[in-house]
Each structure stands twice: as structure tokens, then as C-alpha cells.
Amino acid sequence: MAASAAEETGLDDYTKDGTVDLKGNPVLRSQRGRWKACSFIVVYEVFERMAYYGISTNLIIYLTKKLHQGTVTSANNVTNWSGTVWIMPILGAYVADAHLGRYRTFLVASAICLTGMGILTLAVSLPSLKPPPCSDVNKENCKEASTLQLAVFFGALYMLALGTGGTKPNISTMGADQFDDFHPKEKAQKLSFFNWWMFSIFFGTLFATTILVYIQDNVGWSLGYGLPTIGLAISIVIFLAGTPFYRHKIPNGSPFTTMVSVIVGAIRNWRIPVPNDPKELHELEFEEYSKQGTFRIDSTSSFRFLNKAAVRRGSWKLCTVTQVEETKQILKMIPILICTFIPSTMLAQTHTLFIKQGTTLDRSVGSHFKIPAASLASFVTISMLVSVVIYDRVFVKVMQRITKNPRGITLLQRMGIGMILHILIMTIASRIETHRLKVARENGSPQVLPLTIFTLLPQFMLMGTADAFMEVAKIEFFYDQAPETMKSLGTSFSMTSLGIGNFLSTFLLSTVSHITIKNGNGWILNNLNSSHLDYYYALIAVLSTINFFVFLIISKLYVYKAEVSTSIKVLADELKDKKFKG
């Protein structure tokens, strides 16, 4: 009712969440933002994901077949690069929040991405930049890539990783910024934004894991890398075309500086008692925050020690209560972040060992067509697309009636369901691998087993369903729970999770391989028919189970941050009214 009255009186013409245009002027709600602005932003992400997954999904095949690397080395190179891609957003988030803002940071980073893709396309195209072809099954007999060839190829890969560090945390955050938290209708749209964001960008992933990997395997790597390079260039132009429609958040300084100041201030004042009345702590007037387009946060009792940073003491420069509470909010999210590392480790298997399994199976469809092993990853995408639609259009609506929560279930509950599915996935993967090894033994371990590649379908399909719960909830959780001035940093947490998960996969694979080979029964060898991936998958399932129970304890103790507006309450009240009227 209040929102409608505001609209009628014209008070609702401008956004109230501090968004501005590129010149710093307030923006009219009707002229900028919402789904219209998001349409330009989404196009870039579709092509960026097409480029990333067009590389990462089939990278292990290129490293083993073209650069002649072994299974463990190539798998670790994939996860090390993917880990870097997903860990770099912390740097991109820092630059955006502290200096350039999301829009300008994105422009610089996207140019770096395009340059990296261009060099990478040359690296797979020019004969002088790759070793001569070799069909020997034993890669030790093939000529290794030279130092220069490896330097150009991996240099281009890591240039791309640097660029995506600036695009990934800012493109999705900028998309979410197009919806005003203080407007109930826009808040409702924002609740669905991350579902439809994931739905849209995974069309790029689907194209990469079907068309691109087929082109790479059967036509050529030059065209397979050249197409996403061209697509990336076109998407940057489209993003620039949407500039007149974007809402922007003003950079508010480095979040790391704020956090360090609070922690140092609390330590410096460790002997001073915290007053019982929060009003005695240092804080600015509401007007000061309004001028900066930010929000004041009331003091809470959690991490009470940090409140000492806002206790007045002589001429010492004090932190405000808002700065203290922002620091608390970031610290509160870290245990949840840690619990997402193991699920991210499992996700890394879909681009490494799951694909290597596929190369040992019968990939024929009919008499003339062979499915590229990397195309199995497309089933993750298909499953996720279907699951997101069902979740948003069916599951949420059913749960809204039961819980009266506008989201249907809480973000942490959604993540928990994803973790349960991950345990199931690795258990099934272990059982399927046991069956594959049995068939290999019964047939004398041929290079290609008389077993269809679709045997691996359950673990790929379930991974997509798990992502619809885990990955979408993770992105929304770290964005939603981050302080208003640290949204890019919060969004980067979801990507940091994937980065650490990939590095953890490298560590786990190397450690298990080293220990098991030393004991005379290697679990991960170049010849998968002599390996024991079933044991390795079972180990990950056990680690996932332990991680899930730790997550249950942490999520039970977690307290969601207070909403900066009453929009979520308005939506909840509407749900209650619907039930009453029904």
C-alpha cells in the first residue's frame, strides 16, 4: 500500500538504493535498470561462458592429445587454471569496489579477456606453437611441447584468467544492481534474477559443450577457439550499446581497508569495555550516508569484541558502527564459504576425470557419428536448465504456500539440498566406475570398452540438478548477505569457492596418486583400466558427507543480515494475504 501511494505522488520516480548514472546523477526508475538493462548484460555472460567452457570442458583432451601430457599432469593443469580463473575475482572485486566501479573495471577486464582469447586461438592454430602429432597411446613416446610452446599456450590461458577476474564478479553484481531493493516489485524480480541469470548464461555453456567441443574434436581447434573469440568481441559491443540503460553503484573504497581498520581498532581498544548502550558508540548521522548513496547499519551483539573499534578514545580515529557491522557480516560468511569448497571440488571432476572416463567408452551413435567425450558436460547444463525452471516456477510457489517465505526456502536450505545431491552423485559415480572396471577386466582391458558412453549419464545429469540448488543459491547468498558497499566482494566469494575447490582437487588428486602409487596400487594412472577411480570417488563421497554435517551445524548458527528495506516484508505479507483470501 505504501509503495502504491508513493508511486501516485511521484515520490517513487527515482531509485532509492543509491544507484546513479555514469556521471553520478540520480536515475529515473522508468528510464534505467530492470530487465531491459539486464538483457545487454546477459548477452556478454552467455558468450563469456561459451568461451570459458569451450576451453575448460575439452582442455584435458587438448593437453593429452595435442600437448602429450599424462592423466594426472593434464588434470592438474586443468584444475590449476580453472582455480585461477575463479580465484581472480577477488582482485576484480577489490578494483571495482575501491577504485573504478563495476562498469569501468568490467570494460578493462573484458579487453584483457579478448586479447587472451586471440593469443590462445593462435596457439592452437599455428604449427610452430604446438608439438608434432602423435598417435602413440603411451604419451612418454611422444615429443613434448617446447618451453616456448607451453609459455605461449599457458600465458594466453592465464591472461584470460586475469581478465575474467575483472568480469565475473562485476557482471553478475551489475545485473543485480539493476533492481532496487526499496521497491517491492523490483525486489520480487531480484529474487528471481539469479535463477534466470543462470538459466540464460548456461545456453552459452550448452553451446560450448555440444557444438564447440564437436568442432574441436572433428573439424579443428582453430575454429573451435576462433568462434568464441569472435562471439566475445561481439558481446562486448552489445554490452557497450546498453550503457544508456544501466544503473551504477558508486565505489565506496576498499572493503579490505575497512575490515583491517576495524580489526586493528578492536585490538587497540581491547582493554576498553563496550558500553551497554549502542548509541554511545561512534556513528555518523543518516544524512551522511544518504549523501554517499549508502546505508547505516545498527549495532548487533555478534562478534561483540569488534564493537570496541567504535568506542570513543581520545584522538584515535574511530571506526563507525556501520563499518564494524560490515566487517562482521563478511566474517560471518567465511565459515559458509569454507563449507562450499568440497562441493566445488566435486564440480571440478566433470571437466577432468569424468571426461577421461568417457574416452574409454563406446561413443558411437549410429554408424558414422561419435559423441565427443567432453560433450557429456552438456547434460550437466541441460539438467540444470530444466531444474532451474522447475525450481523457479513450481518448487518455489509450492514452498511459498508452506513457509510464507518469498524465496520458498532459505538460501542455506537450498545449498544444503545441493550438498546432499553431491554426496549421492559421488556415490553413484563410484558404483558406475566399479562396473566399468569389471567390464574392462572381462574384456581384456581394450582401449575402448564395449560399454556405451551413456553409462556415465546419471552422474552428469545429477550434477546439473545439484548445481540448480547449490551454485545458484551460493551466488545469491554471497551477494544478498554482503554489505551494500561490498557487493562485488561478496559475489567474488562464490567464485573463490570454485577456485579453492579446483586447487583442492589438484591437491587431492596429486596426494592420492602419490600415496597409492607408492603403495603399489595406483588409484589414478594414465591407463584408467588399471586405476581405481571408484575408490577415489568413494573418498570424495566420504569427505562430502563430513562436510555436509559441518555445514548443518554452521548454518544452524548463522544469522541472516537485516534487510536494508521493507520490500521483503511487503512480499511476505502479500503471501499471507493470499492465503487468508484463499
Place of cell 567432453: 374
Backbone region of residue 577 per phi and psi (left: phi > 0; alpha: psi in -120 to 50; beta: other values): alpha
Q: How far from each other are the two terminal CA atoms of the chain, in whole angstroms? A: 20
pLDDT of residue 342: 94
What's the confidence (pLDDT) of residue 275? 84
**Bridge partners of residue 26, in order along the sequence:** 20
> What DSSP line would sit under 165-201, residue for residue?
HHHHHHHHHHHHTTS-TTSHHHHHHHHHHHHHHHHHH
Identify the pLDDT of residue 462.
94
Longest dimension (CA), the chain: 84
Reference 324, options 307, 339, 302, 347; nearest CA is 307
Give the CA dihedral 76, 77, 80, 84, nearest 10 degrees. Answer: -160
Question: String of b and e for 142-154 (b: at least 16 CB within 10 Å)?
Answer: beebeeebbebbb
Cell numbers at 467, concatenated: 548445481
What distance in Å separates the CA atoms of residue 502 and residue 87, rounded to the nearest whole number? 10
Give the residue ranges of DSSP H helices in 177-275: 184-207, 213-218, 221-241, 255-268
- Grouping H, G, I as helix, E, B as strand and the rest as coil, residue 274 is coil
CA separation, residue 23 to residues 248, 249, 348 (Å): 10, 11, 42
Closest CA to 154 of 92, 85, 86: 85
CATH superfamily, domain at 14-253: MFS general substrate transporter like domains (1.20.1250.20)
Helix, strand counts (H, E) of the chain: 21, 2
- Number of Cβ within 10 Å of residue 234's Cβ equals 12
Q: What are the two backbone dihedrals, phi and then psi, of residue 503, each rounded to the nearest 5 degrees?
A: -65, -40
Q: Where in the chain is the domain with CATH 1.20.1250.20?
A: 14-253
Task: State residue 483's pLDDT score.
Answer: 85
Q: What are the cell numbers at 314?
A: 581520545
CB atoms within 10 A of CB 497: 28
* Cα–Cα distance for residue pair 174/180, rounded to 1 Å: 12
* pLDDT mean values, one per 10 residues, the chain (582 residues): 40 69 76 80 85 86 85 87 89 83 90 94 90 71 83 93 88 81 74 71 82 88 91 90 85 80 88 83 75 74 86 73 89 93 89 87 82 85 86 86 84 94 95 93 87 92 91 86 80 85 90 88 85 93 96 92 58 56 51
CB-based contacts of 17: which residues, under 8 Å, 6+ apart?
A: 177, 180, 181, 182, 293, 484, 564, 565
pTM of the predicted model over 0.95: no
What pLDDT score was predicted for residue 7?
A: 42
Grid coordinates belonging to 560: 541472516
> How far is 340 from 329, CA to CA, in rounded Å?
17
- Alpha carbon 540 to its chain centroid, in Å, reads 21
Supply angle C-alpha 66, 68, 73, rounded to 5: 120
Residue type (1 letter), 555: S
**How many angstroms separate the CA atoms of 243 and 87, rounded?**
28
Phi, psi dihedral angles at 403 (to 5 degrees)? -95, -20
DSSP 13: S
